[in-house]
Amino acid sequence: MHENPNDHQNPHDHSPAHADGDPYRSNPAYAAPPVYGSFPTYGAPQPDPGATAPFGTTPAATAATPPAPTPRHRSGTPVLVAVLAAGLIGGGLGAGGVALLDHRDSTPAALTSVPSSPRTVDASPGSVTYAAKVASKSTADIAVSGAQGTAVGSGIILTADGYTLTNNHVVSGVGDGGRIQVTLPDGSTHAATVTGVAPSYDLAVIKVSGVSNLTPATLGQSNGLQVGQQVVAVGSPENLSNTVTSGIISALSRTVTAGDESGSQVAVYNGLQTDTPINPGNSGGPLVNLQGQVVGVNSAVDTGQASSGGVQAFGLGFSIPVDTAKRVAEQLMQDGTATKPVLGVSGSLSQATNASQTSVNGARVGSVSADGAAARAGLRAGDVITAIDGSPISNYADLMAQVLRHQPGQQIPITVTDTSGKSEKLTVTLGSAKDDATTTVSTQSAPSQQGSPDQGSPQQDSPFGGLDPFGQ
């Protein structure tokens, strides 16, 4: 066997690779440093003795120095590739790799942080951040203590002197001896009293005592909302003040029904559907667009069969359209009462669409009030109302909800099918009634009058037929 001359160190070689401080030479556990191009296996050329010296050494030194010893380990080419890749990804990570091999004591580098750029968060109009900031300045927390305990909800500040809009079911438990405490955006707490309620719309106005210079909410319009439009909700779910959630408008003009404990009556109103998370304590708080304008009053969420041990439903929240809420709030602030439109018919959810059991889909009229709006328009008992103002009607609850979308005295077109199957369009001028009781629909065969006193208005333990009012 011939001895390889490269196995012996050249005594005249004083390159750094042979210095005592070199980690490869001082610690036998480390392999010798790679010599790039020493293995033809990877296609690298063999060293040329006459070539220019690498890494900046002078030609004279190269000529006097024998070839570097050939390391007895795998080629360094993969190591080079790995270091380059890490350097590209980590920004100089290759240098850190050398430090990892150096066990000498060193001072740890100080940690630094980079301040966020003002442009990192979009707080301009049209952003969720902007909408949240605007709405939070006009959102109050409401706590109502009464004989049944304490109810918690939210409110929308309407005026600088303390008029605040909320849900009727938030304040309905105040009763005799109860009290309302409102926490304003600045953290101060104040007493409040009920100015007026509108049960059919689940709305109420309260007056906060001893305040001034509050920031009133900016009211938008709900009639121009689009499905898919981004919205933001602000409220105090589970007593967590100024909680902000965001989502979209999922549907317009939904029929919201609330059942009483007996199941014989359901309360009805019209609402906006949203997937914006709303939870107990959000009731009465604002649903705003990305300009921070109020487009709805949060009222209920679909819980599926959660109240009876079933599956929880998510992303099904409901808000009262601001166009309706604005009209009602103005009336309540003026004289403490509000009006609602009346069609002047009665019916129930259990009644067939018509006597012949045909496939006509709509709300069958059980009876017509004498001299009422429907009678004046020519409706008769047994007629099936299939559409109101272009909106299709599938049952009697839909009929009542669509009527509540409009204002007293407004003229609206309706489509009806009589008992012979003939369809015609009529124009109805809606009547008016004081809103002192929830609009209800009977689930039994006996017809129920629109606007009859409600014995099961939405309370803390009254599931909305899968819907729970929040704030109780």
Just list the catalytic residues: 169, 202, 283
Lookup: tokens for 137: 């300045």
Number of neighbouring beta carbons within 10 Å of residue 289: 24
Q: What is the C-alpha to C-alpha distance for residues 410 and 399, in angstroms, rounded to an integer?
A: 16
Q: What letters, b where the CB count within 10 A reaches 16 and e where it falls short, cover 50-66?
A: eeeeeeeeeeeeeeeee
The residues near 195 (Cβ < 8 Å, ≥ 6 apart) are 163, 204, 205, 206, 207, 332, 333, 336
Q: For 438, how many CA atoms within 13 A lie in the half-sphere containing its CB?
A: 28
Q: Looking at beta carbons, which pairs linking 59-63 to residues 24 or more positions away fall under 8 Å?
A: none
Question: Beta strands of 276-383 (E only): which ranges?
Answer: 286-288, 294-302, 317-321, 339-342, 345-347, 363-364, 367-368
Please report, for residues 109, 179, 335, 466, the alpha-carbon distance to residue 339 in angstroms, rounded to integers and kept in the order given: 72, 26, 11, 28
Q: Residue with structure tokens 């166009």?
A: 323
Q: What is the C-alpha to C-alpha distance for residues 406 and 410, in angstroms, rounded to an integer?
A: 7
Burial group, residue 466, by CB count within 10 angstroms (0-12, 13-18, 19+) = buried
3-class DSSP state for residue 354? coil
Q: What is the C-alpha to C-alpha distance for residues 349 and 23, in angstroms, rounded to an integer?
A: 88
Q: For 248, how many CA atoms within 13 A lie in the half-sphere containing its CB?
A: 6
Q: What letters, b where the CB count within 10 A reaches 16 and e where it falls short, cover 117-129?
A: eeeeeeeeeebbb
